[in-house]
Structure 1
């Protein structure tokens, strides 16, 4: 599970970034789909998938499923409420990624988003008491240098600056939420899928709040699923899969290793953007 979860995460990350970028730049006759509604749909799909996995863990018994959900979600309100914190942050982060990929090409986004490795490392040291070696700190410095080099010529337009700001906020939110969730998972003996159901329920509530707060008028005019097509649903499915894979990686590995494992998707995203999407011309 250790290597399988990391490998699937690399493939999922690469696919999601490229598909999301394509979906946000695809020209269509009608209105573009709402990022906030896509986040909500991904949460619904993730909850459904986790329910099925818990159902499978308990020998496909409806009675056992109801008992576990009641014991872990309803009868433990304090633990459930703890998960509202990372859930709200993840919801914000997911919305920010749509903003970022609407304004940055996939490769630039991927490189910049690796700043979350640094924020995750800092939160891991401060919140989990992890000790990093000299080579680990050196690799983080090299990472920061790479991000600075990529961004030095990419801030000529206001839209690019907006994309960069969205990525930076997402990096800090990702680092904190990931470490916080890792701490809860490793302190708890319960199934990772139960914890994901709890995360998803709060994410659904926060997501619906975002839909009606920021896109309420457009939803009333054209509906929640305006602009949806097969590409949009692919993005939703990949985003839901990402939540499940990340939870498995955190359970069997840790957040820092998760960050370095996804770095290989930068190479894949760059090559595909250059040869297939043709919206990225890599500089020296």
Structure 2
């Protein structure tokens, strides 16, 4: 059962990450008549949705007993401030990472979709494209580094406690909401005051928020029942799936030899890391 849950969660993470990247990419490059939704607002909304979903799951774990849930949350969040504050570190990093993902997709996609035309502005267009690619690449690199550290830290916390993974996600979500809200006010405060927090929201934007919230829950399950390294492999596999979809359906990606080599290495590494070697029959341990 444990092994089944482990690989099911990994499969769901691959599907969720692939769907999120493609949907977010579409939402950030879609031409709209009105204002585009704020990335900082989407991050805050995803944290709110994650807190609501985890609270509902905690209620289900406690047979919808309001008193038991209230006592549990008070005991784990209010009465253990030191343990709760430990979640502030990965929460802040994950909030930064989520915002960087929007920056990366916005800039990298601009370079992908804005094809140069035969005109006098070719050189200017290429410079703009190169600048967008550089910003996007830096955002991706920062997101990767922050994700690795936060994943290992969060795995340590989850596996050192017997508490429900959903309670830990509520703690993580509370800090994520606070950090995300402060960031939204700092960077998009004027826009929020003028047009509201949910400006530009449509079905696509709401889908992005739901997928992002779902990703936080799935990642927590993967880290709890597998580990952060397998989570990285799942993310790598989702990149491969995304690029294949881009090539066959969106027709905006041309794979190279380096891409195929990387694909083989990722798949081979996933199977090698997951492979459990059986001890040889009749083998003895010599002292």
* Length-normalised TM-score, structure 2: 0.80
1:38 aligns with 2:42: yes
Q: Which moved more, 1:97-106 or 1:239-248?
A: 97-106
CA contact (8 A) 1:105 1:280 kept: no
In the TM superposition, 1:266-277 aligns within 5 A as 266-277=239-250
Corresponding position of 1:204: 177
Corresponding position of 1:193: 166
Other structure's SS at 1:166 match: helix
CA contact (8 A) 2:103 2:136 kept: yes
CA contact (8 A) 1:9 1:242 kept: yes
Other structure's SS at 1:238 match: helix
1:105 Cα deviation from its structure 2 partner: 4.3
In the TM superposition, 1:29-108 aligns within 5 A as 29-105=33-109
Corresponding position of 2:29: 25
Any gaps of 5 or more consecutive residues in structure 2?
Answer: 113-127, 258-287
Whole-angstrom CA distance in 2 between matches of 1:277 and 1:31: 25
Which of these residues, 143, 150, 154, is aligned with residue 181 of structure 1? Answer: 154
Whole-angstrom CA distance in 1 between matches of 2:33 and 2:252: 21
Other structure's SS at 1:157 match: helix
Whole-angstrom CA distance in 1 between matches of 2:251 and 2:107: 16
CA contact (8 A) 2:107 2:132 kept: yes
Q: Deviations over 1:81-138 (max 9, x none)?
A: 11111101110000000000011249x9xxxxxxxxxxxxxxxxxxxxxxxxxxxxxx
Other structure's SS at 1:55 match: helix
Other structure's SS at 1:281 match: coil
1:9 aligns with 2:13: yes
Q: Deviations over 1:17-69 (max 9, x none)?
A: 00000000000001111000000000000000000111011111111110100
Whole-angstrom CA distance in 1 between matches of 2:100 and 2:178: 17
Corresponding position of 2:123: none
1:173 Cα deviation from its structure 2 partner: 0.6
In the TM superposition, 1:214-253 aligns within 5 A as 214-253=187-226
Q: How many residues align?
A: 238
CA contact (8 A) 2:29 2:109 kept: no
Other structure's SS at 1:104 match: helix
Q: Deviations over 1:246-266 (max 9, x none)?
A: 000000000001111222212
Corresponding position of 1:160: 133
Whole-angstrom CA distance in 2 between matches of 1:170 and 1:41: 20
Whole-angstrom CA distance in 1 between matches of 2:254 and 2:34: 29
Structure 1: which 4+ aligned runs deviate by more than 6 Å? none
Q: Aligned Cα RMSD in Å? A: 1.7
CA contact (8 A) 1:34 1:226 kept: yes
Whole-angstrom CA distance in 1 between matches of 2:19 and 2:129: 28
